[in-house]
């Protein structure tokens, strides 16, 4: 049986605009093709911060300037971002595999994640999304469900809740595709958050963190390893301080203790370490690797990166 891995791609794997995305993705797919060459079965997840921000801005400027156009829900923007990021990844991944003489189908799946309406995250929306608005613009858009906060003197931004994933709706489809030897791109941008209603699933304004959903997906797929590819080669203690120390391996207990001591920044490394722990402690033998995108192959061969194990 092939070793199954979930590879989570961070912002630097995708670039900040369409041109950058095309260039970044070409580099990213080489990294992933190397993992395939190493004999791994790969599922790809990815973030969408800049992309969903751009879509939101475009769609809200459209509805502001055209009286016939209604506002576009955040969930639709997330689905759009899954589509066009998946398109680039799928297109370049297939080209790279073909170059290597491999005939492997690559499939992007629009993925929804059920969240809990009672999740405490909904009482305290923290994740800023979209463009900066003036106070007047923000007041006009504010509703019972749409909230804005002032962001460090730069203007007002919408904030949404970041609830925990409860259920990946398309999980069985992902499994079927994997059984059929596809490389699957799923849960982009943390997946589209939905809640169950009498009328079926309904989108809800929220953003599920891509690191947490990647750990959740890895658990559900019974993956052997979660690989979080980002902009640093290793996780550090005392990051950017004089006594900075790179970590090659840490147990779940050590990771929890370091987190408590405040070694990992809340908006960036902390969610990765927490996701790493969630996966590693969910079953014996499961481990997470955090490393630089370009070092993925060295990382899986134990030459670099940070391993979190239980
Ligand atoms: P991604 O787009 O991959 O999610 P993030 O920028 O959110 O990337 O998180 C990765 C970043 O976390 C690193 O580039 C680094 O600047 C930062 N970081 C914060 N604390 C640490 C730490 N203790 N060790 C390593 N990197 C850290
Ligand atoms: Mg991040």
70 assigned to active site: no
Distance separating alpha carbons of residues 141 and 218, to the nearest angstrom: 38
Atom of ligand 1 nearest to the CA of 211: 4
Residue 152 has pLDDT above 80, yes or no: no
pLDDT tens for each residue of 213-250: 999 999 999 999 999 999 999 999 999 999 999 999 99
Mutational test site, ligand 1, from 230, 237, 247, max ligand atoms within 8 Å of CB? 230
How far is the centre of ligand 2, averaged over its atoms, from the C-alpha of 188 (Å)?
13
What does the pLDDT average to over 290-297? 96
Mutational test site, ligand 1, from 31, 260, 269, 272, max ligand atoms within 8 Å of CB? 269
On the CB side of 42, CA atoms within 13 Å amount to 30
What does the pLDDT average to over 136-145? 87
Predicted local confidence at residue 26, as pLDDT: 94
Residue 130 has pLDDT above 80, yes or no: no
Residue 131 has pLDDT above 90, yes or no: no
Return the percentage of the chain with pLDDT > 70, whole number: 100
Predicted local confidence at residue 7, as pLDDT: 98
Distance separating alpha carbons of residues 202 and 199, to the nearest angstrom: 8
| Closest CA relative to residue 130, chosen from 195, 196, 73 | 73
Which residue has tokens 């609830």?
163
Return the percentage of the chain with pLDDT > 90, whole number: 83
What does the pLDDT average to over 43-47? 97
Whole-number mean pLDDT of the chain?
95
Ligand number, closest to the Cα atom of 290: 1
How far is the centre of ligand 1, averaged over its atoms, from the C-alpha of 103 (Å)?
35
What's the gap between Cα 40 and its chain centre? Answer: 20
Predicted local confidence at residue 191, as pLDDT: 98
| Closest CA relative to residue 122, chosen from 56, 207, 50 | 207
For the CA atoms of 15, 276, 266, 77, the dihedral, rounded to the nearest 10 degrees, stands at 40
CB 237 within 8 A of CB 244: yes
Which tokens go with 60?
């809200």
Determine which of 14-28, 88-102, 214-228 has the lowest per-residue pLDDT on average: 14-28
Coil, strand or helix at 201:
strand
**Is the shortest distance between the CB of 47 and ligand 1 below 6 Å?**
yes
Structure confidence at residue 305 as a pLDDT band (50, 70, 90): very high
**Is the shortest distance between the CB of 230 and ligand 1 below 6 Å?**
yes
Determine which of 134-143, 207-216, 239-248, 257-266 has the lowest per-residue pLDDT on average: 134-143
11 assigned to active site: yes
Residue with the larger pLDDT of the pair 199 and 64 = 199
Structure confidence at residue 126 as a pLDDT band (50, 70, 90): confident
Predicted local confidence at residue 34, as pLDDT: 97
Residue 267 has pLDDT above 90, yes or no: no
Residue 256 has pLDDT above 80, yes or no: yes
99 assigned to active site: no
Residue with the larger pLDDT of the pair 306 and 13 = 306
Residue with the larger pLDDT of the pair 143 and 30 = 30
pLDDT tens for each residue of 194-205: 999 999 999 999
Predicted local confidence at residue 151, as pLDDT: 79
What does the pLDDT average to over 75-80? 97
Residue 129 has pLDDT above 90, yes or no: no
Determine which of 88-92, 100-104, 145-149, 297-301 has the lowest per-residue pLDDT on average: 145-149
Predicted local confidence at residue 128, as pLDDT: 83
Strands (E) in the chain, as ranges, are: 3-9, 40-46, 106-108, 112-114, 127-133, 147-150, 156-160, 167-168, 183-185, 192-197, 200-203, 225-230, 235-237, 245-247, 249-251, 287-292, 306-309
Q: Which residue out of 15, 48, 272, 295 is catalytically annotated?
A: 272
Residue 197 φ then ψ, to 5°: -130, 175
Distance separating alpha carbons of residues 233 and 291, to the nearest angstrom: 4
Predicted local confidence at residue 143, as pLDDT: 85
Looking only at the bridges linking them, the beta strands covering 167-168 and 112-114 are antiparallel
């Amino acid at each position: 049986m092939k070793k199954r891995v979930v590879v989570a791609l961070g912002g630097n794997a995708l670039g900040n605009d369409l041109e950058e995305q095309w260039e970044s993705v070409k580099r990213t797919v080489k990294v992933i093709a190397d993992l395939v060459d190493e004999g791994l079965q790969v599922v790809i997840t990815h973030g969408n911060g800049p992309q969903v921000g751009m879509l939101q801005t475009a769609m809200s400027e459209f509805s502001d300037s055209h009286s016939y156009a209604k506002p576009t829900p955040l969930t639709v923007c997330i689905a759009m971002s899954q589509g066009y990021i998946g398109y680039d990844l799928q297109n370049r991944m297939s080209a790279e595999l073909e170059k290597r003489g491999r005939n492997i189908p690559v499939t992007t799946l629009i993925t929804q994640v059920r969240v809990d309406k009672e999740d405490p995250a909904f009482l305290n929306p923290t994740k800023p999304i979209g463009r900066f608005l003036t106070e007047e613009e923000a007041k006009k858009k504010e509703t019972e469900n749409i909230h804005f906060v002032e962001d460090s003197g730069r203007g007002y931004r919408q904030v949404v809740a970041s609830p925990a994933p409860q259920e990946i709706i398309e999980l069985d489809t992902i499994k079927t595709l994997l059984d059929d030897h596809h490389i699957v791109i799923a849960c982009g941008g943390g997946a589209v958050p939905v809640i169950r209603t009498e009328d079926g699933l309904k989108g809800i304004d929220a953003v599920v963190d891509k690191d947490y959903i990647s750990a959740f997906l890895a658990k559900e797929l019974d993956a052997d390893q979660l690989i979080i590819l980002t902009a640093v080669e290793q996780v550090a203690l005392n990051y950017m301080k004089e006594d900075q120390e790179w970590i090659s391996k840490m147990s779940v207990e050590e990771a929890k203790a370091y987190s408590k001591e405040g070694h990992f920044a809340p908006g960036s490394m902390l969610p990765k370490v927490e996701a790493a722990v969630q996966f590693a402690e969910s079953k014996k033998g499961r481990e997470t690797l955090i490393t630089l995108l370009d070092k993925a192959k060295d990382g899986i061969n134990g030459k670099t990166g940070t391993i979190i194990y239980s």
